[in-house]
Structure 1
Amino acid sequence: MITIEQLSKVYHSKGKSVIGVDDVTLNIDQGEIYGIVGYSGAGKSTLLRCMNVLERPTSGIVRIDGIDLMSLSPKELRKARQSIGMIFQGFHLAMSKTVLENVAFALKASGVGRKERRKRAEELLVLVGLDDKANQYPAQLSGGQKQRVSIARALANNPKVLLCDEATSALDPNTTKSILKLLQEINRELGLTIVLITHEMEVVKEICDRCAVMEEGRIVEQGSTYDIFAYPENELTKRFIQTVIDFQIPEEQLVKSQGTIVHMTITGELAGESIVSDLLQHHDIRGNILHGKIDYIQNQALGMFVMELTGDRSEVERAIGTLHDKLEEVEVLQDAGTADQSMARAE
């Protein structure tokens, strides 16, 4: 559906060059929700604007539904953009127009007649749950309601793609969840391809099928959302995941510990098995869970646990070997020897 090949965007100002997007290649499938996450200045919003050529790339290829947007004339590009809806953090509503008029305005620009505009706008307000707000003005709405109007307006011309630029970052957590749920429903009901720009990994975890992590204009990691959470490789990705699933053990706890501390990731069907209890039954060791959680991403279980194992050192090592045999991700955060040294320093 969306193909980005070796795309770069370079800005020139006062004799200096600033790279906004640096040699990015992405493939986004029809009907999926794709997240692009990064901190401020990572280039993610610039990349999004390049997707509909609101920002013209310096080099590279942008294809949407098989159409090379870079090769189109200005008139052809305007027509092609009708199949690409876009919503923003700041809503961008006309304050002097009613909710209904805001939605209908997008159709007026496309040459749709008055009666058809009104009918389509009313249908969209039902879709986003605002049919009772049709005659109100944006100033009378909450932030979440304003974003729903923006979504309805973006859907007016039956787009194939919806681009969302930090669409939930100005909203409180509960409102964010309701907007994300709405986007999921629209994705399922309309088969719409959604690209979601965000700096919040929780948003990615909530609804994205696949995602990419951006830093300094480049994609540093990409894959299915589940795999990104289960097997992160890049340090930036790991930091983002820690904002959602934080398993950092306080230094005070590490100093107190006299055992071996192990972090384990349990994926898929294994998350429903008795890995920990079986380990303690088959090895002459004691186990103390310091941190643990089973989460669900893309309807798949993902378990993460931090345990302190104590007992004979050789038996602990055999237990860790058993974990390595069963699980793909096992990391010793502190072994008993390190713990002994920490205790000595503390004394």
Structure 2
Amino acid sequence: MIQIQHLSKVYQTKEKVVKGVDDVSLDIETGEIFGIVGYSGAGKSSLIRCLNLLETPTSGTILIDDVNLTKLSGVKLRQARLKIGMIFQHFYLISQKTIFENIAFALQAAKMPSNKIETRVMELLEMVGLSEKRDVYPAQLSGGQKQRVGIARALANNPSVLLCDEATSALDPNTTMSILRLLKKINKELNITIVLITHEMNVVKEICDRMAIMQDGKVIEEGQVYDIFSNPVQPLTKEFISSVVSYEIPDTVMSTLAGTLVKITFKGEVAMEGVISDTMQKYRVKGNFLHGSIEYIQERALGIFLMELQGECDEVEQAIAYILEQNAQVEVIRQHV
């Protein structure tokens, strides 16, 4: 388990003092994939670099498996860092070394006996699907393959925590998905805790269990990914989610609508039921679908629909009340005109 308690990181520039991380407290459970989302400058990279003390926190405490990293130094800190792997956006492979040698370098630095290094490197290459690339150089690999090497290197010393700093930002969408599937596989097979920094909500939606949104060095919202997607609270969170699930209606269409415009959110099994058709049959209301989809987050359905409801005001109100009774959320965007 990772426990971050009142963590702050302050940077002193010539002009001013900048709070990169501002009194952040988070608990990340063992074996979960936790996403930290924010725009550039939000403090998310400073936070993740504090987790393995690449950045020294100004104040606060970091405990990993009950070990207080902020109290360690020298040999003890180096030993603790061996249990924290890290992968980066730009790979940072040694161009003059083969793929085998890049991964072996991490094991040599940890003073693994030379007679065990080859076996371990081949295990790691098998894990990331690059066994046939052991003797090639980084320049001969695609971006996705380079990141797979970075993952293998980060896992070399059997860490309990894997930190991912914008690990897919330099990759195309298809390659991103393959890397995310690999991370999910590693998480399940090794029960390794993954902390993933990103500005891409699609990444969080795909593999994370829980998430936090950062702004100006602070955590402004956190919770289960499904709960945040289905009921975001903060304006910034809503903005991020709209980049994945957008329901904007063109003004030319809006100007033609005379009925009541509603946004209906169905969670879990309710998303798969015929609530809307039941409502139309039960009440003298016509429904005009304007936008909608069913997303699958953490293997749970989340249905969001924009509809125009046409009919007498009392019938529309009764229809909305009925939908609410079916454990759906209804937001009236514009009343009947």
TM-score by length of 1: 0.96
Counterpart in the other structure of 1:264? 264
Q: Is 1:12–2:9 an aligned residue pair?
A: no
Q: CA deviation at 1:15?
A: 5.5
Counterpart in the other structure of 1:314? 314
2:314 aligned partner, one-letter code:
S
How do residues 182-197 of structure 1 correspond to structure 2 at under 5 angstroms?
182-197=182-197
Q: Is 1:64–2:64 an aligned residue pair?
A: yes
2:298 aligned partner, one-letter code:
Q
Could you say what secondary structure the match of 1:302 adopts?
A: strand
Could you say what secondary structure the match of 1:189 adopts?
A: helix
Q: CA deviation at 1:149?
A: 0.2
Alignment deviations for residues 11-50 of structure 1 (CA, whole Å, 9 cap, x no partner): 1122621000001000000000000000110000000001
Counterpart in the other structure of 1:255? 255
Q: Is 1:243–2:243 an aligned residue pair?
A: yes
Q: CA deviation at 1:252?
A: 1.6
How do residues 29-48 of structure 1 correspond to structure 2 at under 5 angstroms?
29-48=29-48
Q: CA deviation at 1:332?
A: 0.9
Alignment deviations for residues 319-346 of structure 1 (CA, whole Å, 9 cap, x no partner): 1222233335211111122xxxxxxxxx
Distance 1:215 1:68 in 2: 26
Query: 321-330 or 264-273: which moved more?
Result: 321-330
Task: In structure 2, list runs of 5 or more residues that go unmatched.
Answer: none
Counterpart in the other structure of 2:298? 298
CA RMSD between the two structures: 0.9
Could you say what secondary structure the match of 1:171 adopts?
A: coil
Q: Contact conserved, 2:107 with 2:156, CA < 8 A, in 1?
A: yes
Counterpart in the other structure of 1:109? 109
Distance 2:222 2:174 in 1: 28
Distance 1:139 1:255 in 2: 55
Counterpart in the other structure of 2:50? 50
Give the share of equivalent positions with the same residue, in percent.
Answer: 58
Counterpart in the other structure of 1:215? 215
Distance 1:328 1:26 in 2: 30
Could you say what secondary structure the match of 1:79 adopts?
A: helix
2:22 aligned partner, one-letter code:
D
2:153 aligned partner, one-letter code:
R
Distance 2:335 2:26 in 1: 41
Alignment deviations for residues 198-255 of structure 1 (CA, whole Å, 9 cap, x no partner): 0000000000000000011000100001001011101111111111111121222111
Could you say what secondary structure the match of 1:70 adopts?
A: helix
Q: Is 1:228–2:228 an aligned residue pair?
A: yes
Could you say what secondary structure the match of 1:139 adopts?
A: helix
Q: CA deviation at 1:95?
A: 0.2
1:66 aligned partner, one-letter code:
D
Q: Contact conserved, 2:270 with 2:328, CA < 8 A, in 1?
A: no
Query: 71-80 or 33-42: which moved more?
Result: 71-80
Distance 2:206 2:165 in 1: 16
Distance 1:206 1:195 in 2: 14
1:200 aligned partner, one-letter code:
E
2:225 aligned partner, one-letter code:
T
Q: Contact conserved, 2:102 with 2:153, CA < 8 A, in 1?
A: yes
Counterpart in the other structure of 2:83? 83
Could you say what secondary structure the match of 2:115 adopts?
A: helix
Q: Is 1:277–2:277 an aligned residue pair?
A: yes
Q: Contact conserved, 1:265 with 1:327, CA < 8 A, in 2?
A: no
Task: In structure 1, list runs of 5 or more residues that go unmatched.
Answer: 338-347
